[in-house]
Structure 1
Amino acid sequence: MSRRRIGFWYRLAAVIAKPPLVVLIKRDWRGMENIPAEGGFITAVNHNSHLDPFAYAHYQYNTGRVPRFLAKHGLFKKGFIGTIMRGTGQIPVYRETTNALSAFRAAIDAVERGECVAFYPEGTLTRDPDQWPMTAKTGAARVALTTRCPVVPVAQWGANLVLPPYAKKPHLFPRKTHIVLAGPPVDLSRFYGKDLTPDVLKEATEVIMAAVTELLGELRGQTPPAEPYDPRKARLEQRRKAAGEGTK
């Protein structure tokens, strides 16, 4: 299938967003050769800053394969931002509603039309204290195994130094470098033909995130943790400790 044309709205968004990104952030972009030139595919990207969707979109825009992000449906209702989101073909996510499966169907349709869908599998900013990828949701794996499309793991680092997770004020100086590394597609062939049970989806997701985390370790020059941070386990541990202290 042919690639999605960039189109008017994506070009307009680029005209607006690229100049400040170029001025404020240096770029160290690697692995563009791993972005497929044709056909539908998924990118699985780590998420550690509210700024990194823009910085990462800049990277992929320059490959000629524009991404379709899954984003909270509320963003599609907000004036000019909503117009841009709709015009560029982003995919609204309706959480905990009767429309919750629509994003999944739209992602499959986009891939089957030969487009790229960019997933943040963690679903939100990482809560890992050291900003490594945390445990992920299974949506990307589900789309990948349903369509058997390539899944390109992508690690990024640097936007979080400009705007740390949950920070309100950016740190613009000294000028930071946004580093992106796209790796070769993840081999998920051993899952093909299997029923998409929770265990199969969980294991496939872990394979995808392991590839992303390994790339991030390469970027950071550090060894990633043996296991990803699990917010649910962390909350349970905090409650256990609080209950233990309360009985003293």
Structure 2
Amino acid sequence: MIYNISSDENPMIKHIKQLARRKYRLEYGEYMVEGVRIIRDGLENNSSIKSIVFSERLYNTSGGEGLLQDLLEKNIKIYQVPESIFLKLSDTQNPQGIIGIFSCKAYDLDAILNCEKSLFLILDRIQDPGNLGTIIRSADAAGFDAVLLTKGCVDLYNLKTIRSTMGSIFHFPIIHVGKTKDVIQHLKAETIKIVSTSLETNKYYDEVDYKGRTAFVIGNEGHGVLKEVLDLSDELVKIPMKGKAESLNAAIAASIMMYEAVRQRRNQKI
């Protein structure tokens, strides 16, 4: 059933506006997603969709009407609003006319650690939403077990982050773990090798064995991995820089590291 909303003073509209702020996303355990493709991804991955808000524009968007019909069949609460109200809620330059409210999903780190050949990515204070989303997408594609977000990372439910994951956010384990130092000590106690990126080493990333249980640490875009984390690491590695560029984008560096592990394990039965 579709409910009509005509006023931006409606409680649902106020609620969606609140979800634009991290404070309220944490308070309600919900986040906002915008666009036909990514909401379709959420639906197909059985994510918990709390409600949908759409405008007339959706009917003129490719795949929009079909998505709306599929959502109606799932008995999800759906609200239609005037275009003027929808534009106040939208975060994109070219809105497609649909916004979804999803429940945040929680994963149990200790349960995931049970995998014999675990591969993890620890993100140490990553700040750029696009980097975070791209790293999550790459980790999903590379077959990693989880991405661990430490204290100080950009908000996972930032709309730019969500878009950059290209749907991975709906099915790939992403876990908030607190301080980087604490999670590393926890993983080391589980006999997981900690490999951090650092310019202060002579060892290259492809000179280390990643066939066993391994966690890569990717540091903050401007400052790299914390010294206390480097001191706890089992291996420090770097990616060779042959040109004049001083550094790589964090998402590119993470992808290079992850796919070296994939290369080494290619002929193994994991």
Q: Could you tell me the TM-score, scaled by structure 1's length? A: 0.29
Larger radius of gyration: 2
Looking at secondary structure, tell me which structure has more helix per residue. 1
